[in-house]
Structure 1
Amino acid sequence: MNVIADEIKLKQDALAYRVCEKIKELKLGDSAVLYYNFPLYRGDLPEDLIQAQLLLASPIYGILYFKCIESNRYLTEDEEIYLDNLDVSIFNRLNKRSELRKTRRELKFNVAPIIVADKDEIVNDKKYVSLPNLKQAIEDNKTTVLNDEEYNILLSCIDGTSRLTTKKERKTSFNEESKLKADILNRIQNKEAAFDLEQKKVALVTIDGPQRIRGLAGSGKTIILTMKAALYHMAHPNEEILYTYYTKSLFGLIKNLIERFYRDFADNREPDWKKIHILHGWGGLELGGVYSTACTDNGIEPITYNIARLHSPNPFDYVCHSILETGKITPKYDLTLIDEGQDFPDHFYQLCYALSKEKRIVWAYDDFQNIFDIKLQDEKDTFGKDKDGNYLVDFSKNAHPLQDIVLHTCYRNPRIALIAAFSLGLGIYNTKVLQRLEDNNHWELLGFKVESGESKVGDKMIISRPIEHTPNIINQELGIYTIKVQAFSDYASECRYVAQCITNDIQDQKLRPDDICVICLDNRNIKSYYSLLSKMLIKNGISTFNLVEAPNANKHFFYDNYVTLSTINKAKGNEAGMVYIIGADTIFINRDNVLLRKLNSSYKCNGIHINNLF
């Protein structure tokens, strides 16, 4: 059985902890999940929070939620009403799914409360159960065993991941064996989205203190951060939340995910956006940012980019350091969430730390975004020291078991795409390897398996990617054909070929234009590429959204019925059903030039993929 809890807070709740330990002793099966202080639902007022003290989900025992009370007392009238409301919230949530219903008003499993007290009795039709008889009370709830698909749906309803899957209308054959791209994409989007255990532990629990979430692109970091924002806003509607990010075009995705998660738990109510601040790192006149907002809030004159670059080769780090040096920063946010943490300089982290009231700061970090810097982040150096010389953040002190989580599974990228991207990015098959990881443990932290070798100079290495760490269903749908490579003599021929492929995708393969993204790796000629490609597509009645020409304050990556034309940096963190990479030859003009190969590092992070579930 898996326990999803802030272990420190659980141990402080003596009654719940005692019940939790007893349930663990019962060995209810590997698939059972016990939640602490979850799920939570919004009542009629923002201040009304309905929350399970303990909830057990099991394919054998259904849903059991526990109320643990002190000796020599019974439930108050308010507590009885509270439990009834919790029951209604859970039942209504599950009853929306036809796969879980036996009849229109009956589920295939029981949803029942268990009141744990010091003795066994029935009072006001409520059954009180003592700890020694807890096993029998759970056994009494045994029903028809749910199959794997049904149980995954149940868990997705409890966890809130049922809102993850976005379904778009496509004209399809409805043939489960069809290899039509639209059919494949629909099968992917119809697959039930669910957290794995690593994701569940970090997404559904926010600890009181710093927390790092590490993982490759596609491991679910943005999903986890947006879920945290939604749940924290549910539990603390009057507190301030900061969500900051690096890639401007991620704004729409971030806001959409927070809203979807919040509405799912809050009976379709909208979040209070005055309390959730989604801010770009720097910001400016047209786009709010952490730095620009901090300057405004604290009466500090912001430094412009043109001025900053005169003082430092890293202008953003310079402005963050400058505002910290003023000593005028007033903490503002109760929860700070940093997405794309690998892209930010140390002084930005320190600025976010200074802006955080309780130092409740969570950051998502991709250890492999930059092939120049593949060393593990040292949180001590990142956040620096206080005035007494003590590190502000130091995970070596083991303050919390959830303070540093690694996500090993990559859902977004098909297995072959991820392996190919690492091979190309590191230059493994060059005459001279361009970059290598420091040891076998580093490979395994990234979700790979070292079959042979010790990551030392001269070693013959065999490295594989276990299928369980890259379970994208495209592995089965397309296999090695996930990636297709085509060479051309000139860029006009290349554009002509891609335009014809896109036209075929829409007209014959029944994809939507907004299922498709083109990424050009040739920064020098990108405008020429996209000008010609756009003209070719418009002749076929296909419109494009060219991010190269989009305003600086643009926050969107897709528009309905438009094919997106993107740069590498603007594509990072986004996903598409069909991706075309053009201008790739510019990277390999000089095979051993690590500066050019850096482009491929970014290219890898977007991946060549059909669809991303996470």
Structure 2
Amino acid sequence: MANSFYFQNLDEETLTDTRINEVLEELESYAEKEKKQVYVIDKPVSEKKYQYSYKKAIVVLVPQVKILIINFGEDSEEFDDFFNDFIEDLGYISDKYEYKSFLGRPRKWERDLIKSVSLETSDDIRSFIEENGLSGIEARKGELLISLLTGSINDIERVDGDVPTSTLEQIKRNIVLFDGEQTRFIFQHKNKDRVTIQGLAGTGKTELLLHKLKNIYVNEEDTKIFFTCFNKILAKNLKERIPDFFDFMKVGEQIKWNERLWVERSWGSQANRNSGVYSFICNHYGIPFQRYRWGLTFESVCKNALDKLNQLEEERSFEPFFDYMLIDESQDFNEAFFQLCEKVTKKQVYIAGDIFQNIYDYNSIAENKPDFLLNKVYRTDPKTLMFAHTVGFGLLERPVVRWLSDEEWEACGYNIEKEGEYYTFSREPLKRFENLDEDIISLQLSTAESDKYLDEVLWSLRDIKDKNPTVEAGDIGVVFLENHDKNYALAEELSIRIDQEFGWSSVKGYEVKAKGKDSLFISNRNNIKGLEFPFIVCITTTSLNTHTSIRNSLYMMLTRSFITSYLILSENNGDLNSKLEGAVETIMDTGKLEVKEPKPSEIMDKSKLMLEASGDKSQYEIVEDILLSFDIDDSKTKQKMHTLVNVMLKDSVDTDKIYTLINQNIGFI
């Protein structure tokens, strides 16, 4: 597995120097051992126009350390030219992204933030790093220079100003730096027709695709690119985001929609060739377009199109049209679609998706080896993520709801120690949280009696406010797990109590479908996906069961927070609450969790899990629940979905199959 703490981007000629390679080995070892981000470059990564003839120098970038420019050559004059050119070009990049107002002119930060040295051996590199540490405002300025050199551009208006003093301000004004794996995906070329990237939710896959898109669009003139996804709504959102993203990244070129760049869903409409990948292919190559209808799967549509294109190729009348294809949310597609995209693409297809579509997706992670694996979640504290998996998978229960293979645990970012029947899990600490106050606890657990839920929620809000005096209403989300009438009544009463005690306004996500910037957000579990808050309060008013959608929703709720997640459990869980409380205490104190490995008979099999998930619900009730999670309340759309499920799945009450069918067709109905 690639070292995500280490990134290297050097010319081949530079790598012929034995001394440089010795230092590189030492730097990579240092990054892995110290769990510190280390970048080694010889020119700005994101700006291809900057090139230098001198090949005996490397630039070492470590957060909270001066930029170290190391000379391995004997010609001091050539090195001086390289050094001065590098600083001048970095100054231009700083000016381009409007960093100069905060960083000042190069002559100032060159003196304070840059260190050059000649190095004979690798023996001195560790002490050299430690001797050149930065703190306070200088450390922030140093990190911003690193962001410019590695292409991880931050909004200067967000990070400008003095060093944040409170935990909340540290999080809000955190300087984001891509890790090694993220940076490799954006800027380093893999000689493959298909490049895959997979990651846990919150690892920034869509953001990385946007950076990859920008990199291609700017550096390769006249390329034709199609950026696609399955869902029509997501495609619309992407198309709206790209102009703002290009403006932020200072892309000077005008976007040539449907000439150089297409951003649409996968299927499309026959009446508009630019409305989808499939519709464009059919129109451009003159092959039959298959309209959406009951019983017709997108997989069969793609296979038929691929057969037609293969026939054209045999007749020597076929030429790939696109240079690149970018596919987001790849878990929504099948192999036939990927092959179809490769067929019409000259250079590369980039495919990004979740390791889990949900945490009960039973496709083995080990079966699909991605080129880039993102298992470090930068939104949520690793300790909170560990507990979210613990309760989501039911690791402390028997039978467990789900158990992963060793390879799958590692793919999800876990370090595993095994002794006898016991597994000890841990996750690497992340930079985002290393500077927070030591007394900050990222997860708070409590139990409420049946008539005391609001008391516990209000206690959590007071705790947040007491520990974070600058907190605003919009920094907090409150989410109820169950879609019960009593929870909606509690939400209504909570809205009134919040106004009375804190003077805060609130919005109910299940009514407005939006997050208010200046209002506390109250929601059910169906309207929380994609949102994030410094603080989240999660409430469960019934005992936990093995219903996959319930456990998956609880996992998703807990991982919405930047700083602290509060979980209020029902007293009806009995002994399970004590086990969970013990797990939280252990994880918070040690960063580890010990779990006894379940026997095969102690792992809930899928058929039983699905049966318990559907319980006594009819197919109609299951479809209604799923449509509610998609915010679908239009009667005509509902009727079409009920008909589709009945035709395709007969009397099945398999929740997973019904959910998959609805998810695959919701964009067309």
The Cα of 1:436 is off from its aligned counterpart by 0.9
Q: Is the 8 A contact 1:165 1:193 kept in 2?
A: no
Which residues in structure 2 correspond to 1:294-309 (within 5 Å)? 301=289, 303-304=291-292, 307=293
Q: Of 351, 364, 382, which aligns to 1:415? A: 382
Q: Provide the C-alpha distance between the structure 2 equivalents of 1:293 and 1:526, rounded to a whole number of angstroms.
A: 49
Alpha-carbon distance change, 84 to 431 in structure 1, aligned in 2, over 3 angstroms = closer
Letter in 2 for 1:600: R
Q: Of 496, 507, 512, which aligns to 1:544? A: 507
Does structure 1 residue 34 correspond to structure 2 residue 1? no
Q: Indicate the residue corresponding to 1:515 in structure 2.
A: 475
Q: Is the 8 A contact 2:174 2:432 kept in 1?
A: no
Q: Indicate the residue corresponding to 1:24 in structure 2.
A: 21
Letter in 1 for 2:475: D
Letter in 1 for 2:387: A
Alpha-carbon distance change, 464 to 97 in structure 1, aligned in 2, over 3 angstroms = farther
Alpha-carbon distance change, 291 to 520 in structure 1, aligned in 2, over 3 angstroms = farther
SS in 1 for 2:429: helix
Q: Provide the C-alpha distance between the structure 2 equivalents of 1:24 and 1:251, rounded to a whole number of angstroms.
A: 45
Does structure 1 residue 600 correspond to structure 2 residue 551? yes
Q: Indicate the residue corresponding to 2:562 in structure 1.
A: 611
The Cα of 1:162 is off from its aligned counterpart by 4.1
Q: Indicate the residue corresponding to 2:352 in structure 1.
A: 363
| TM-score, L = length of structure 2 | 0.59
Q: Indicate the residue corresponding to 2:132 in structure 1.
A: 145
Q: Provide the C-alpha distance between the structure 2 equivalents of 1:348 and 1:106, rounded to a whole number of angstroms.
A: 51
1:315-357 CA distances to partner (integer Å, 9 max, x unpaired)? 5545555654654898444333333333433344334334433
Q: Indicate the residue corresponding to 1:472 in structure 2.
A: 433
Q: Provide the C-alpha distance between the structure 1 equivalents of 2:114 and 2:558, rounded to a whole number of angstroms.
A: 43
Q: Provide the C-alpha distance between the structure 1 equivalents of 2:245 and 2:150, rounded to a whole number of angstroms.
A: 10
Q: Provide the C-alpha distance between the structure 2 equivalents of 1:248 and 1:567, rounded to a whole number of angstroms.
A: 24
User: Any gaps of 5 or more consecutive residues in structure 1?
Assistant: 43-48, 67-73, 115-132, 177-182, 380-394, 396-402, 454-458, 551-556
The Cα of 1:109 is off from its aligned counterpart by 4.9
SS in 2 for 1:108: helix
Measured on the aligned residues, the alpha-carbon RMSD in Å equals 5.4
Alpha-carbon distance change, 467 to 105 in structure 1, aligned in 2, over 3 angstroms = closer
Does structure 1 residue 108 correspond to structure 2 residue 112? yes
The Cα of 1:571 is off from its aligned counterpart by 3.9
Does structure 1 residue 437 correspond to structure 2 residue 404? yes
User: Any gaps of 5 or more consecutive residues in structure 2?
Assistant: 32-37, 73-77, 313-317, 565-669
Q: Indicate the residue corresponding to 1:4 in structure 2.
A: 8
- Between the aligned residues of both structures, percent identity stands at 19
SS in 2 for 1:187: helix
Q: Provide the C-alpha distance between the structure 1 equivalents of 2:206 and 2:474, rounded to a whole number of angstroms.
A: 21
Q: Provide the C-alpha distance between the structure 2 equivalents of 1:534 and 1:353, rounded to a whole number of angstroms.
A: 52
Q: Is the 8 A contact 1:488 1:494 kept in 2?
A: yes
Letter in 2 for 1:33: Y
Q: Is the 8 A contact 2:495 2:506 kept in 1?
A: no
Q: Provide the C-alpha distance between the structure 2 equivalents of 1:22 and 1:521, rounded to a whole number of angstroms.
A: 58
Q: Of 455, 462, 480, which aligns to 2:423? A: 462
Alpha-carbon distance change, 26 to 534 in structure 1, aligned in 2, over 3 angstroms = closer
SS in 2 for 1:416: helix
Q: Provide the C-alpha distance between the structure 2 equivalents of 1:357 and 1:276, rounded to a whole number of angstroms.
A: 15
SS in 1 for 2:559: coil
Letter in 2 for 1:157: L
Q: Provide the C-alpha distance between the structure 2 equivalents of 1:602 and 1:343, rounded to a whole number of angstroms.
A: 19
Q: Of 363, 381, 394, which aligns to 1:427? A: 394
Q: Is the 8 A contact 1:242 1:337 kept in 2?
A: yes
Letter in 2 for 1:56: I
Q: Indicate the residue corresponding to 1:334 in structure 2.
A: 323
The Cα of 1:375 is off from its aligned counterpart by 1.0
Q: Provide the C-alpha distance between the structure 2 equivalents of 1:419 and 1:495, rounded to a whole number of angstroms.
A: 27
Q: Indicate the residue corresponding to 2:584 in structure 1.
A: none
SS in 1 for 2:433: coil
Between structures 1 and 2, the one with greater helix share? 2
SS in 1 for 2:518: coil
Letter in 1 for 2:347: E
SS in 1 for 2:208: helix
1:420-450 CA distances to partner (integer Å, 9 max, x unpaired)? 2111222222221122112x23222322222
Alpha-carbon distance change, 247 to 483 in structure 1, aligned in 2, over 3 angstroms = farther
Q: Indicate the residue corresponding to 1:575 in structure 2.
A: 532
Q: Indicate the residue corresponding to 1:46 in structure 2.
A: none
Letter in 1 for 2:323: D
The Cα of 1:311 is off from its aligned counterpart by 1.3
Alpha-carbon distance change, 483 to 280 in structure 1, aligned in 2, over 3 angstroms = farther
SS in 1 for 2:196: strand
SS in 2 for 1:195: coil
Does structure 1 residue 189 correspond to structure 2 residue 189? no
1:220-260 CA distances to partner (integer Å, 9 max, x unpaired)? 43333232222222212532333344677767986788667
Q: Provide the C-alpha distance between the structure 2 equivalents of 1:211 and 1:563, rounded to a whole number of angstroms.
A: 41
Q: Of 127, 135, 148, which aligns to 1:157? A: 148
1:100-140 CA distances to partner (integer Å, 9 max, x unpaired)? 8786575425599x9xxxxxxxxxxxxxxxxxx9979xx9x
SS in 1 for 2:385: helix
Q: Is the 8 A contact 2:71 2:119 kept in 1?
A: no
Q: Provide the C-alpha distance between the structure 2 equivalents of 1:292 and 1:446, rounded to a whole number of angstroms.
A: 36
Which residues in structure 2 correspond to 1:148-297 (within 5 Å)? 149=139, 151-163=142-154, 167=158, 176=165, 183-209=166-192, 210-245=194-229, 262-263=246-247, 266=250, 269=252, 272=255, 274=257, 275-280=260-265, 290=277
SS in 2 for 1:360: strand
Q: Provide the C-alpha distance between the structure 2 equivalents of 1:166 and 1:344, rounded to a whole number of angstroms.
A: 39
Q: Provide the C-alpha distance between the structure 2 equivalents of 1:174 and 1:254, rounded to a whole number of angstroms.
A: 34
| TM-score, L = length of structure 1 | 0.64
Q: Is the 8 A contact 1:413 1:470 kept in 2?
A: no
Q: Indicate the residue corresponding to 1:96 in structure 2.
A: 100
With 234-243 and 561-570 compared, the bigger mean Cα shift is at: 561-570
Q: Provide the C-alpha distance between the structure 2 equivalents of 1:461 and 1:205, rounded to a whole number of angstroms.
A: 40
Letter in 1 for 2:443: T
